[in-house]
A and B are shown apart, each in its own frame.
Chain A
Amino acid sequence: MNQLFGFVKKEFTHIFRDPRTMVILFGIPIIQLMLFGYVITTEIKDARIAFLDHSNDNVTREIKNKLLSSGYFRLDANLIQESEIDPIFKKGDVKQVVVFERNFAQKLEREGKADIQVIADASDPNTAQMLYNYTNAIVQDYTKKKYAGFTIPVQIKSEVRMLYNENMVGAFMYVPGTMALILMLISAMMTSITIAREKEMGTMEILLVSPLKAYQIVLGKVAPYLILSIIDACIVVFLGNTVFGVPIRGSLFVLAFLVILYITMALSLGILISAVANSQQVAMFISGFALMLPTMLLSGFIFPIKNMPEVLQILSNFMPPRWFIDAIKQVMLKGNGLEYIWPNVLILSAMTTLFLVLSIRKFKLRLE
């Protein structure tokens, strides 16, 4: 046991000696949280638009002013003819062109109806749709104000409550996601690479002939990352709670249990990868390619699983982060306890066991 302790200590000094590693270990979670918190929003502000006003009367001018003072839009150009639209879109800055038809005010006065054409650059379909919705709402609001005092009868009113995240704070979403991603990065990726490194440099053989047992070597490699991962998890939860106001409605104990279970799963996965890979590059590409992107995209972190095609929904069941993110959200946001999240716990435990059994078999094969 003393030997093992010494070995773990050696591994720790290895990690701590390189400032680059430390920056990554603690920099990534903090920077990522900050980016998600302060930089990434789904709301759009100051989108560049252009006008093509064939009429230029007082009604179109009023509407244009309304649009520009809404905060959603910023004027990029006033166009003169239709043929200018395509080139301006091709440059990529302008997202929408608002076209007013000829004799706009006159037509509105005489026929009671006038058309605005909202041409959106739908190469980004979400933004296009959102900008159109903003535009439409502003235009409708303009007409409504014009006929103030006019009330609409027979109204079904919706009293909507967004449960567990009343103000739709983005942090409630990305704090659990970031945690899943970071812990995967540190635990699975880092362990798989350190072990693969020993194999590649030929130092694994030296370790294997030492009095340490194989499992002790693996344990020694893994222990520092277990501790670092726990520290990172604490940082993410703490920052999420204090800076971004993500609540912890459930029990801290359950939360801690979940986090440690997930880390253990990720470490076992890392060991499995290193058992399969014979070089750092292979380990890196497997953990980077096959783990990171799916962790971001197939786990419900960014894109809801429900929207995915059937096949991918089934596939996402095999993604451990999916179960972790779901459980973490339940505990933190809904305040659920083990009576709700036991299936997630069961699945994560089963995955951990599977990874461990597979890597033990794989390692044994190699040693014999």
Chain B
Amino acid sequence: MRTILYLLQKEFIQVFRNKAMLPIIFLMPVIQMLILVYAATMEMKSVNITVVDLDLSETTTRLTAKFEASTFFHVTRAQLSPAETDKILLKGSTDVVVTFPQGFERDLKRKDEASVQILVDAINGSAAELSNAYLQTVIGSYNQKIRAEMMGVPKFNPPQQIAAIPAYWYNPELNFKFYMAPGILVILVTVIGLFLSSLNLVREKEMGTIEQLNVTPIKKYHFIIGKMIPFLIIALLDLTFGLLVAKVVFALPFRGNILTLYVFTSVYLFLVMSIGLFVSAISDTQQQVLFVSFFFLIVFIIMSGLFTPVESMPVWAQKLDIINPLYYLIRIIRNVVLKGSGLLDMTRELISMSVYGLIMFSLAVWRYRKTV
């Protein structure tokens, strides 16, 4: 067991002596956290709308004023021909063109309905959908208002009404940062833990230093553990920094037990590093390790539920997620931090990760050969 201590001492000295890597290890995650969480937002901020009002009636002017009153919209009024409309949309200088046709107000009064034409530049899919949804809300509430005015009743309703009242638990303000911050933190901790440990091992192969160790009576699992613990500690340090940033900058609420989170993350890191060390045990160069890890990392990130909910994936893909380490921790960290889930609530995940981790660890020890 003493051997491991000497190995750990060596690894720590090497990490802290590498001046180029230190800022990357400790500063980059914090900076990325700050930038990326702010970047990853679905909250609408501003939409450029061009209103082409060919009716110029009271109804249309009032509705345009409603658009202007909304903080989401930046409204330009213009009298444009269809060709000119095309052009500004192609140029991308406006996101939406709302056209009130001539006789809009007249139709509304006489035919009981009138159409407004809305052209949305949909090359940015989700943004287009959101802009349209906001637009519809404004139009809808204006519609209710003028309906009431015209019919002379305060609010027009069907005879019986069922109201579905939403209650958003754990995040009543629907703050998207509370959702993204823990997820992004998981990615950062993963990148640090996974790549530092796996690249480190294969680098010893590349530089030839591993040979000197291989002729010693050092035990294989000692060696693998020696490659794991330093980076586990470093990754946990990064987790701590990240959580502090989340707490201080994003005001992320902590409902769960922090200690629980560290237990989960440690098991997770054990799993991820075992995978990484297995990959480096079967590789000869840092490049190979990097490519293989990157390939899986990209697939794992896309399927982890970081950006899109896992529930919306096809069933087979959801089933595949049992081998996706990121899926477990992203789910766990969100549940623990935001909802206060404990070890008991997430036993299934904990057991899965532990078993999976032990399998990968054994594979890594088995595949690490002291002979070439």
Contacts and interface: CB of A to CB of B under 8 A. Distances in A.
A and B touch in the complex (CB under 8 A): yes
Interface of A: 18, 20-21, 23-24, 27-28, 31-32, 35-36, 38-48, 63, 85-87, 89-92, 95, 108-109, 112-129, 132, 135-136, 139-140, 142-144, 146-147, 150, 152-166, 168, 170, 172-173, 185, 193-194, 197, 200-201, 277-282, 284-286, 288-290, 293-294, 297-298, 300, 302-304, 306-309, 311-312, 315-316, 326, 329-330, 333-334, 336, 340
B132 interface: yes
Contact of A155 (B63, B95, B143, B292): B143
B39 A125 contact: no
Nearest to A100: B162
B122 A164 contact: yes
Interface residues of B, number: 111
A241 B59 CA distance: 44
A297 B167 contact: no
Interface in B133-166: 135-136, 139, 142-143, 146-147, 150-151, 156, 158-166
B211 interface: no
B162 A116 contact: yes
Contact of A90 (B158, B166, B313, B340): B340
Contacts of A127: 309, 311
A122 B39 contact: no
Contacts of B146: 154
11 contacts: A125-B178, A143-B158, A147-B160, A153-B112, A154-B147, A158-B115, A164-B123, A282-B20, A288-B294, A304-B124, A333-B123
Interface string B325-363: 000000100110011111001100000000000000000
B308 A90 contact: no
Given A44-B309, A336-B90, A340-B91, A119 B167 contact: yes
A312 B121 contact: no
Nearest to B44: A307
Contacts of A158: 115-116, 118, 135-136, 139
B20 A279 contact: yes
Contact of B298 (A32, A124, A163): A32
Nearest to A166: B122
A170 B169 contact: no
B168 to A, nearest CB: 4
A101 B55 CA distance: 47
B240 interface: no
B277 to A, nearest CB: 16
A91 B345 contact: yes
Contact of B114 (A142, A157, A330): A157
Contact of A161 (B35, B120, B312): B120
B205 to A, nearest CB: 12
B32 A289 contact: yes
Nearest to B335: A92
Contacts of A140: 162, 164
A285 B21 CA distance: 9
A28 B175 CA distance: 33
B167 A117 contact: yes
B166 A306 contact: no
Contacts of B21: 281-282, 285
Given A121-B170, A170-B125, A281-B199, A154 B108 contact: yes
A108 B160 contact: yes
B260 to A, nearest CB: 12
Contacts of B54: none
Contacts of B308: 40-42
A158 B47 CA distance: 18
Given A136-B164, A285-B21, A41 B312 contact: yes
Contacts of A297: 35-36, 39-40
Contacts of B123: 164-165, 172, 329-330, 333-334
Given A132-B164, A165-B123, 5 more contacts: A32-B299, A90-B340, A118-B167, A303-B41, A307-B42
A326 B42 CA distance: 19
B17 interface: no
A120 B216 CA distance: 59
A194 B290 CA distance: 12
A122 B125 CA distance: 23
A311 B34 CA distance: 12
B151 A153 contact: yes
The 9 nearest A-B residue pairs measured at CB: A122-B168, A304-B127, A162-B122, A125-B174, A122-B171, A123-B338, A24-B291, A165-B122, A90-B341
B45 interface: yes
Contacts of B338: 123
A161 B285 CA distance: 53
A308 B122 contact: no
B176 A126 contact: yes
B68 interface: no
B314 interface: yes
A326 B287 CA distance: 31
Given A47-B311, A168-B129, A293 B36 contact: yes
Given A115-B163, A280-B199, A304-B124, A42 B312 contact: yes
B27 to A, nearest CB: 11
Nearest to A287: B290
B38 interface: yes
Nearest to B338: A123
Contacts of B6: none
B122 A163 contact: yes
A255 to B, nearest CB: 15
A23 B303 CA distance: 20
B195 to A, nearest CB: 7
Contacts of A108: 160, 162
